[in-house]
């Protein structure tokens, strides 16, 4: 009985999707919005990666909101998981292979993460991706040694400072350039150089640090929440 | 209907969405419901990215060889869906993390992850 309702709902949704698929035909030319972005990005923003130009400059306010959502998630998660006090956690040691592999991989992953967010305006990648790679390194660190205490004060400090400067750069755009989060407060430079596209590398580095520390504190919070016996 | 790469991606995304929906309706374990939500999310992201596809074009990144600042409008695909999906992935991560935290807390209170043991909101 219960499953038949589920089957019905999934079938209805499937019918809806098939209908979309039948109406779909491959586009041959760009639509108006995409044409604007693709035509004007090199001159207006100076970023080689158009997706970065949209995320950081054209729709920069949305990205600020997105970073705020992630910040809120980290805060709410910390609040929920801390309720009822922190209990002493004992966890089993992990294997020698994991510990050795983690020691080899962690420095490399952090450097790769930093590379990805500094080059966000030139290559595929950016602050969110680089931050996620740094978060992976911290996750590996916790997996290899679950008893390790992560200095959350430091994480929160890095996060707050990068968030503060992100908003400050946005306000500087309001004062010295065309509007909030305008990247032209710094010279645009030559297209394709590391120091080009105005404030984009700076903003994306701050986003990278913020996302990296947020993911790390989420993982650390979940890790430090008591002994969880889970029945699957 | 000729089979092109964007249609393959669309169908793949739709199948993943249906699997996620099915899992969300039929599983009783909270972790599996959250996992189903993640699968649905992934399918939706693949679908949106596939909508930005244009045949014979490449990524909207100026590399100086294939795509230059001048031919960006005729050589590169639509960058808007990619920017949207970048946002959607991050928000999906945040939502999944929150759901996992709630599941963890619920498990601590009643020592169970079975949705049938939580009848407080049932009528």
The position carrying tokens 């390790």 is A148
- Could you tell me if residue B9 is inside a domain? yes
CB A208 within 8 A of CB A215: no
Per the CB < 8 A criterion, the answer to whether B19 and B11 are in contact is no
Cβ distance of A5 and B25 shorter than 8 Å:
yes
Residue B122 lies in a domain: no
Token pair for residue A147?
């008893």
Residue B120, min C-alpha distance to chain A (Å): 19
Q: Is the pLDDT of residue B19 over 60?
A: yes
How many domains does chain B divide into?
Answer: 1
In chain A, domain spans: 36-74+94-223
> Does B28 reside within a domain?
yes
B73 neighbourhood in chain A, CB within 8 Å:
30, 35, 38-39
Tell me the two tokens of residue B93. 């991560």
Do the domain assignments include residue B31? yes
- Nearest Cα of chain B lies from the Cα of A65 at a distance, in angstroms, of 10
Q: Between vectors from CA A221 to CA B104 and to CA A88, what angle results, nearest 5°?
A: 85
Strand partners, B61: A49
Output b/e per residue, B94-113; b: 16+ Cβ within 10 A. Answer: bbbbbbbbebbebbbeeeeb
Say yes or no: A73 contacts chain B, CB-CB below 8 A.
yes
Q: Which of residues 88-117 of B touch A (CB under 8 A)?
A: 89-91, 93-95, 97-98, 100-102, 104-105, 107-108, 111-113
CA distance B69 to A48: 8
CA of A71: which chain B residue's CA is closest?
B94
Token pair of A218 as six digits: 């989420």
ipTM of this complex prediction, to 2 decimal places: 0.81
User: For the segment A10-67, what is each residue's pLDDT rounded down to a tens digit?
Assistant: 999 999 999 988 888 887 788 888 888 888 877 777 788 888 888 888 888 888 888 8
* Assigned domain for B46 exists: yes
d(CA A136, CA A219): 10
Q: Across the interface, do A192 and B62 touch by the CB < 8 Å criterion?
A: yes
- Helix residue ranges per DSSP H, A123-199: 127-144, 152-176
Q: Is B63 part of a structural domain of the chain?
A: no
Q: How confident is the model at residue A195 (pLDDT cuts 50, 70, 90)?
A: confident
- Average the pLDDT over each of A104-108, A185-189, A208-212, B110-114 and give the range with the smallest value: A185-189
Domain range enclosing B27: 5-57+68-117
- Which residue from A33, A48, A226 is facing B108, i.e. has the nearest CB? A226
Cβ atoms A200, A47 nearer than 8 A:
yes
Distance CA A11, CA A5 (A): 10
Is position B107 within any domain? yes
Q: For residue B53, name the pLDDT band (cuts at 50, 70, 90).
A: confident
CB A206 within 8 A of CB A127: yes
Q: Which residue has the tokens 């100086």?
A: B64
CATH number of the domain enclosing B50: 1.10.287.3510
Q: How far apart are CA A94 and CA B43, in angstroms?
A: 34
What distance in Å separates the CA atoms of residue A203 and residue A60, rounded to the nearest whole number?
Answer: 10
Strands (E), chain B: none
- Residue B4 C-alpha, separation from nearest chain A C-alpha, in angstroms: 9
Lowest average pLDDT, out of A50-59, A130-139, B40-49, B109-118, goes to B109-118
Is residue B45 over pLDDT 90?
yes
């Amino acid at each position: 009985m219960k499953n038949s309702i589920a089957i019905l709902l999934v079938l209805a949704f499937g019918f809806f999707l098939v209908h979309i698929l039948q109406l779909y035909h491959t586009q041959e030319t760009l639509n108006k919005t995409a044409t604007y972005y693709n035509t004007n990005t090199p001159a207006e923003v100076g970023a080689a990666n158009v997706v970065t130009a949209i995320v950081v400059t054209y729709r920069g306010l949305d990205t600020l909101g997105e970073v705020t959502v992630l910040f809120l998630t980290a805060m709410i998660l910390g609040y929920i998981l801390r309720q009822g006090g922190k209990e002493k956690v004992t966890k089993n040691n992990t294997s020698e292979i994991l510990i050795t592999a983690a020691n080899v991989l962690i420095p490399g992953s952090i450097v790769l993460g930093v590379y990805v967010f500094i080059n966000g305006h030139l290559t595929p990648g950016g602050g969110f991706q680089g931050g996620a790679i740094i978060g992976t390194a911290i996750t590996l660190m916790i997996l290899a040694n679950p008893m390790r205490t992560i200095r959350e004060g430091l994480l929160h400090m890095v996060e707050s400072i990068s968030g503060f400067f992100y908003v400050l750069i946005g306000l500087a755009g309001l004062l010295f350039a065309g509007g909030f989060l305008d990247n032209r407060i710094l010279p645009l430079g030559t297209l394709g150089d590391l120091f080009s596209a105005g404030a984009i590398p700076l903003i994306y580095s701050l986003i990278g640090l913020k996302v990296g520390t947020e993911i790390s504190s989420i993982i650390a919070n979940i890790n430090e929440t008591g002994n969880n016996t889970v029945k699957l | 209907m000729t089979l092109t790469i964007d249609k393959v991606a669309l169908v793949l995304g739709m199948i993943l969405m249906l699997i996620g929906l099915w899992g969300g309706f039929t599983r009783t374990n909270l972790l599996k419901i959250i996992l189903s939500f993640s699968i649905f999310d992934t399918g939706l992201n693949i679908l949106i990215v596939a909508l930005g596809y244009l045949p014979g074009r490449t990524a909207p990144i100026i590399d100086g060889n294939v795509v230059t600042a001048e031919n960006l409008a005729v050589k590169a695909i639509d960058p808007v869906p990619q920017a949207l999906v970048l946002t959607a992935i991050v928000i999906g991560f945040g939502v999944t993390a929150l759901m996992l935290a709630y599941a963890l807390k619920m498990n601590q209170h009643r020592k169970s992850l079975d949705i049938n043991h939580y009848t407080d909101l049932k009528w």
